Amino acid sequence: MARKLAIEWIKTAYYDLENIRYIIDIDYLTHIIAFHSQQAIEKSFKAILAFNNKKIPKKHDLFALHEIVKSDIGSIDTNLLFRINELYIDSRYLGDIGLLPYGKPTLEDAKEFYEFSNGVFNKVCEILGVDRNEFIRQ
């Protein structure tokens, strides 16, 4: 049961990454790329929690989640994690979704966030023993 739930979490992270893949070069959608990057990392961390049969907190703070899973996931770039963590804004503030404190991310920011979130996703896939290709068209 724990593995099945973990697979569902990582599959939803994959879908966030797939959304990014289709829009990665569109400069006016950098805030959407950034938001989906944050979501992919959050869901990847929650997949680890599910896999380990731990309670999944209703938190969106990547640092709080990372603190719980860091013994499983190993070393990651906490400076970049901090920048991406700044992206989460409650959905009732639609105009701010995916914005950094200094405004809309640049295309370079967005691509960096995508690469980082993809790397976290891949680490979690290794932990879960799944191949990302199994999620294609499910």
Q: What is the CATH number of the domain that holds 86?
A: 1.20.120.330
- The pLDDT, as a whole number, for residue 43 is 98
pLDDT along the chain (138 residues), means of 10: 92 96 95 93 98 93 94 93 76 52 85 97 95 75
What's the number of domains the chain is made of?
1
DSSP string, 66-126: HHHHHHHH----HHHHHHHHTT---TT-GGGTT-BTTBSPPHHHHHHHHHHHHHHHHHHHH
Domain residue limits at 65: 2-135
The Cα–Cα gap between 43 and 19 comes to 14
